[in-house]
Chain A
């Protein structure tokens, strides 16, 4: 069965600094990987995905993520954080049989001025 781990419950970053939100996964076969963001009292918004191809994936709002097969990781990154990036971030994985979309526990990102 597939699973996702987000090892940090919270990440604190100063505005303008680079940010990284970590994600590792376990899945049989090739993974389909996703990042979502959730603002307070809202549903989840899709940020980016890795299906195949280039290991560096670019998404919405200046975010990118790096797929590393050997480390089974898919870390979310942004070169320069904004206060408005403060939110709850979720990593998710599907296996290549399709179907189930499994989420991690989420990481609370706090960006301070």
Chain B
């Protein structure tokens, strides 16, 4: 799907541990996004990036950090995982700031 790979696809982790999710693209798109999807909340933007080392917060950024050291990779880190961060996480990419975004297949994260 649009050259986007999320890893891992599934993860179970314990409360209090750090977790990093990876989004890798082969499209050389400038913008990359991290969303979480929860029942009743739709998709909520966590962080996004508009270029290498250029990132900004979304709607629900508390407890999350991101890094983008290369165009193709956007990492999402849960600094100390909590049960409220159990969710499905989606990465998306877009060519620029006014075009459609294309989504990865998602990562299902369970914090126990």
Contact = CB atoms under 8 A, between A and B. Distances in A.
Report whether chain A binds chain B.
yes
Contacts of B102: 46
A5 B15 CA distance: 33
A67 interface: no
Interface size class of A (residues with CB under 8 A): 20 to 34
Interface stretch (A12-20, A68-76, A90-98): A90-98
- Interface core residue of A34, A100, A104 (most chain B CB under 10 Å): A100
B42 A104 contact: yes
Contact of A99 (B1, B35, B48): B48
Nearest to B91: A43
Interface in B7-58: 31, 33, 35, 40-45, 48, 50, 56, 58
Contacts of A104: 42
Given A34-B100, A43-B104, A90-B43, A101 B92 contact: yes
B98 A102 contact: no
A43 B43 contact: no
Interface in B56-112: 56, 58-59, 90, 92, 94, 96-106
Interface residues of B, number: 29
A101 B94 CA distance: 10
A26 interface: no
A5 B102 CA distance: 21
Contact of A97 (B44, B90, B97, B103): B97
A98 B97 contact: yes
Interface string A1-36: 000001000000000000000000000000010101
Contacts of B56: 99-100
Contacts of B106: 43
A102 B44 CA distance: 7
B100 A43 contact: no
Given A99-B48, A101-B45, A102-B59, A49 B100 contact: yes
Interface of B: 1, 31, 33, 35, 40-45, 48, 50, 56, 58-59, 90, 92, 94, 96-106
